[in-house]
Structures are given as C-alpha cells and as structure tokens.
Chains A and B, each alone.
Chain A
C-alpha cells in the first residue's frame, strides 16, 4: 500500500465511526420520554456490548475451551496441557522466572518510588526531579529494552577491544572482566527485571507522592512535637497513612509484571532460559505451533491475575469502610 492510500484508509475508518456515532445520536434525539430512554440506552450501548462481546468475552471462552485440546487443536486431551506446564522442565523454568519477576519487580519499584517521592518532596526542583524518574513511563517496553540492551552490551575480553556497554566498562575499569549479562542464567532474568523496575518506579513515585502530599499537616506536626524522628516518621506516620495507595501500586505493578512480554521478546527473545509465561504463550502459539499449550498458558495468566485483583478490591473495601 502506498502512504497516501494508507492515510486514505485511516480517514475512511475514522469517518465511518464518526458516521456511526452521528446516526446513533441523531436517532436518539428523536426519541423522548421515559420509555424512550430505554431505547436510547440500548442504542448507545449496542456498539460497546457488541465489540466487547466479540473481542473479549467470546475469545476468552474459546481459549479456555481450546486449552483442553492438543497442539493442532483437534483432539481433546483433558488437563494434559496444564499438567505439562507444572511438570515439564522447560515449563517449570518459565514458571520460576515468572515468579522471580512478580516477586521482585513490585516491591523494588515501589520501594524506589516511595523513597524518591519522600526525598524530593517539597524540594526546590521537585517537578524536574520527578520528571526524570517519570519519563521512562512514556517510553515503550521495546524502547526500554533497547536502551538497556545497550547498557548490558558485551565485547570479548581481548587486547585492543574496548567495551561499548556502560556496565561492562565500569566492570573493566574496576579491574574485573566483562560479563555476558544477558546470557548467563539465572542472573540474566534479574537483569531483565531491572528494566521493568526502571519503568515502573516512576508510576509508583507519582501515585505515592500525591498520596504523601494528602497526609494532613497537623498529623505530621503532632508527631514531630512528640519527638518522632525521620525513621519513626516514615514507619509510623507516612507508611500507615498511604497504605491504600501502596496496595494499589503494588498490585497494579504486580499484574503488569505478570503479563510482561515486550522486554523479554526484545532483549533475549526468551532464549538463555529467560522466558516467562506471557512470552512462552507467544512462542508456543505462534512460533512452535502448539495451540493447546499456548491457550493453557494464556488461561494460566488469567487465573493468576484474579487473586491479585480480588485482594486489591478487598483492601479497597476495607479502607473505605474505616
């Protein structure tokens, strides 16, 4: 397709939807009265319900169904795919890596975000200081992966060969020898996790900073008059006051980390024992041609998200009830 043709198609698409919305609105405008309201509601909701039904509900059910079938999707094999995920050595490695990601990322990213939010709170250049940490949020996971792959870049340890990766340069300058950061398991997974922490700390900082600023000044002042020092202030005033926000941040990052795909795909492609569930889903479904196992992995992601969301909702209920 030529560029002009592409732009034309794009305008057609936007125009089509503007027309659909226009027709719906114009139609709704002619109907009045309380009974008419029900018709209007139905017409307003029709496109959404149809799209969400076709795009989310039906595919989710279909995938759950297919997870009980074999690689070609033709023969019913019961829970064999799930059995494989929890017994096959390659799949267990994928699970172990996913656990590493989900356990490390939320806590470290939230910790860094919280510390930074407290440190720069009310500082003179607070806005700029925050923007520096926040900016990675605008960068794609692919872009972040490339940025960090360059940091981890490796050159063989030979005379005349200079390191081009920052981390290996530092290692060499300190008298060590360069390290294959992305090749040696299990540490390579940790080096990938660092990228996710780098992205998510900004999110944690922004939400927690707003929450810290909402702590009533008189509570802080009272604690200070009682002689509470910096650490005590953090432990007994700041953290309890922002607990609901902490839970939201931890669970949100946890869910995002569970589904991490782009970073692994861009930096190692899931090789060198770095695959995670979301990446394995892609590899099995689209590369290895094992539809059944791919579907089971997708369902596993779905199932793992649910308890985190349930915990989140319960915490919110509890904090609202107080």
Chain B
C-alpha cells in the first residue's frame, strides 16, 4: 500500500433516508434476480478464499500426508494433527517461537512511539499558530512519498556509528520515522474537525495545553488513534524489508516474517512448518483487523495509506 492520497477525503456513506432504504431494498431484489451476477460474485469469493483455506487445512495435516497428496484429500480421508503448530512454536532450532516473541517485541513500541510523538506534532499543527506552519506541515506530509528503500543504507551506517546495530532500537526507530508522516497527517485531519469553540472555551477556563490535550482532545481522537494504530500495527507486524535490513543478520532479533521468508526460500520446502508458521503470523493481524475493522475502513477512506 502506498503514500499520499493528498487531502483525499472520499465521499463517505451517510445514513440514507428511510424512503431510500425501501428503494434500495427494491433494487437489491432486482439485482439478486440476475443469476449471472450472483454466479460471478460466488466464483470470485471462492477463488479469493480457496488459497488461504488450502494452506490452513494443510497446517493441520500430518507431515507424511502433506508430502504425499493434496489438501483436498481431507474431504475423503480426514486426518488432523496439532503437531505442526507445536513444532512451529517451539524455540528449538527450526522453530519459530523466538521469532513470534520478537514480532511482539518489535510491534508494541513501533506502534506506541509514533502515536505519542505524532499526537504532539498534530496538536501543534492543528491548534497553535506559528510562522511557517503550513510549509512545515506540507513538508512533513510530502515525506510520505519517500520510498523506504532510499533511506535504508544511510540509516544502517548511522546505526552502526551510534552502536545501535544488533538491537531492537534500529527497528523501533526506523518504523517510528517511517510512520510519523502518515500518523501526523491522519491525526491532524481528525483534530481539525474538532470545533474551534471547544478548544477556545477550554482556554478561557484557564486550561493549559496539557489539559486540553488529555481532557478535550483525547476522548474525541479515539477513532483516529485506533485507525492509525491499526495501520501501523499491520504495517509493522507484516513488514519484511525493514526487519530484513536491520535484523536480517541477527537471528535473535528476527521477527516471524523474516524467518518465514527464509524458510520459504530453502530447498525442499518444509510445508508442515511453513503452513503452521504462516498461520501463526496471520492469526494475530486478522483478529485485530476483524475486531477493529470499522476504524480501519474509516482511516482508509480518510486517505491514510503508506508504503
């Protein structure tokens, strides 16, 4: 996914009037009567879900079966086991247990730190008048288009100079830097929507920046924080390039994505390990995603994308 949809505030669905709802349901009936349309939709849905389903089924099959025949055979010869997950999660050689822990260690600060720093910056951009404000805001926003590839080598040598290489700090700091432009853009947009009178009234009452920030803005900003939080979470958890660059040579720091990519590249692919490992790495973002989907969609429609 990628950068900068400008001030792309797309038309968001509003609640339709009741008369429209009735009309809409009439339309729906007309549409569903077209068998071709339904057929195409069903075919697309099946094509889109089958690959994932196939690997999911495989992750529960005994190793011998996986190597011998296709996953669709479980419909005729159902054999299931949890061994693949036990092996994948173990911390022994070949196991991904350590990498799973690393993914968590990497993700938590890499989501929280940019949120904290971006909240401060977005507040300054939205509610404090100062010279050069617009220029600085546009500059920070425009940095979203910088591909991270352009930054990796100089950053790596900088980390080496600062003796940060071989620590989680390289990954935390990098994700923070790459995430800030989007975070500031999203939070700023939401903050601007808050009525000025609310802030002015709080100021009149003698509230300082700290009170305004926590008492007035925070409760109203929850959806925005959640939207960016999910973006950044998915981005960091699923990232390969940053982790490979800064932790690729240090197995002790490598997250799931790095070890899965390595496993996938080896000869004679160990599908039993790879399938279970893939689903361990997929499960957490999917759960977060499904439970917080409305925030994600709202963020998506507010133009929040990065890459």
Interface residues of A (CB under 8 A from B): 1, 3, 6-7, 9-10, 13-14, 17-18, 21, 24-26, 28-30, 32, 37-38, 40-42, 44-45, 47-49, 51-52, 54-60, 62-64, 66, 112, 115-116, 119-124, 129, 131-143, 145-151, 153, 162-166, 169, 198, 201, 203, 206-207, 210-211, 213-214, 217, 220-221, 230, 244-245, 248, 251-252, 255-256, 258-259, 261-262, 265-267, 269, 278, 281-282, 285-286, 291, 294-295, 297-299, 301-302, 305-306, 309, 312-313, 316
Q: Mark B206-222, 1 if CB is under 8 A from A, else 0.
A: 00111101000000000
**Complex A-B: 7 CB contacts under 8 Å:** A1-B252, A10-B105, A26-B210, A119-B41, A217-B20, A251-B5, A298-B152
Residues on B with C-beta less than 8 A from A198 are 48, 51
**Does the CB pair A112–B44 fall under 8 Å?**
yes
Known A48-B121, A206-B300; judge A59-B155 contact (CB<8 A).
Answer: yes
Judged by a CB distance under 8 angstroms, whether B204 is at the interface is: no
Given contacts A142-B240, A217-B16, 6 further A-B contacts (CB under 8 A): A13-B168, A28-B208, A58-B154, A60-B150, A265-B261, A306-B145
Q: How far is the CB of B226 from chain A (nearest CB, A)?
A: 15
CA distance A56 to B150 in the complex (A): 8
Residues on B with C-beta less than 8 A from A40 are 124, 128, 209
Count chain A CB atoms within 10 A of each CB in B3, B71, B72, B112 and give the residue with the most: B3
Count chain A CB atoms within 10 A of each CB in B11, B23, B297 and give the residue with the most: B11
Q: How far is the CB of B306 from chain A (nearest CB, A)?
A: 9
**Does the CB pair A138–B286 fall under 8 Å?**
yes
Q: How far is the CB of B273 from chain A (nearest CB, A)?
A: 11
Known A13-B109, A210-B301; judge A60-B58 contact (CB<8 A).
Answer: no
CA distance A185 to B272 in the complex (A): 28
Residues on A with C-beta less than 8 A from B52 are 135-136, 139, 147
Q: Which residue of A lies closest to B307 (CB)?
A: A256
**Does the CB pair A116–B41 fall under 8 Å?**
yes
- Selected from A9, A256, A259, the residue in CB contact (under 8 A) with B105 is A9
Q: Which residue of B lies closest to A200 (CB)?
A: B1
Known A151-B51, A265-B261; judge A139-B151 contact (CB<8 A).
Answer: no
**8 closest residue pairs by CB, A with B:** A55-B177, A140-B238, A255-B2, A59-B151, A214-B11, A59-B154, A138-B289, A44-B124
Q: How far is the CB of A231 from chain B (nearest CB, A)?
A: 12
Residues on B with C-beta less than 8 A from A137 are 234, 289
**Does the CB pair B12–A210 fall under 8 Å?**
yes
CB neighbors of A among B132-181 (8 A) = 133, 136, 140, 143, 145-147, 149-155, 158, 167-169, 172-174, 176-178, 180-181
- Selected from A25, A38, A138, the residue in CB contact (under 8 A) with B130 is A38
Residues on A with C-beta less than 8 A from B16 are 217
**Does the CB pair B117–A21 fall under 8 Å?**
yes
- Selected from A3, A135, A163, A259, the residue in CB contact (under 8 A) with B307 is A259
**Does the CB pair B282–A139 fall under 8 Å?**
yes
Q: Which residue of B lies closest to A281 (CB)?
A: B149
Q: Mark B177-217, 1 if CB is under 8 A from A, else 0.
A: 11011001000000000000000000000001111010000
**Does the CB pair A48–B10 fall under 8 Å?**
no
- Selected from B55, B101, B131, B305, the residue in CB contact (under 8 A) with A147 is B55
CA distance A62 to B52 in the complex (A): 42
Q: How far is the CB of A104 from chain B (nearest CB, A)?
A: 17
Q: Which residue of A lies closest to B263 (CB)?
A: A146
Q: How far is the CB of A279 from chain B (nearest CB, A)?
A: 10
- Selected from B121, B150, B239, B261, the residue in CB contact (under 8 A) with A299 is B150
Known A141-B240, A210-B13, A298-B149; judge A133-B48 contact (CB<8 A).
Answer: yes
Known A51-B173, A59-B154; judge A245-B10 contact (CB<8 A).
Answer: yes
**Does the CB pair B10–A248 fall under 8 Å?**
yes
Judged by a CB distance under 8 angstroms, whether B94 is at the interface is: no
Residues on B with C-beta less than 8 A from A136 are 48, 52
CA distance A143 to B280 in the complex (A): 10
Q: How far is the CB of A226 from chain B (nearest CB, A)?
A: 16
Judged by a CB distance under 8 angstroms, whether B92 is at the interface is: no
**Does the CB pair A143–B278 fall under 8 Å?**
yes
CA distance A60 to B208 in the complex (A): 38
**Does the CB pair A206–B275 fall under 8 Å?**
no
- Selected from B71, B123, B168, the residue in CB contact (under 8 A) with A10 is B168
Q: How far is the CB of B5 from chain A (nearest CB, A)?
A: 5
Residues on A with C-beta less than 8 A from B69 are 162, 164
**Does the CB pair A13–B45 fall under 8 Å?**
no
**Does the CB pair A252–B5 fall under 8 Å?**
yes
Residues on A with C-beta less than 8 A from B269 are 149
Judged by a CB distance under 8 angstroms, whether B64 is at the interface is: no
**Does the CB pair A301–B149 fall under 8 Å?**
yes
**Does the CB pair A14–B112 fall under 8 Å?**
yes
Residues on A with C-beta less than 8 A from B82 are none
Known A58-B154, A214-B14, A244-B10; judge A309-B145 contact (CB<8 A).
Answer: yes
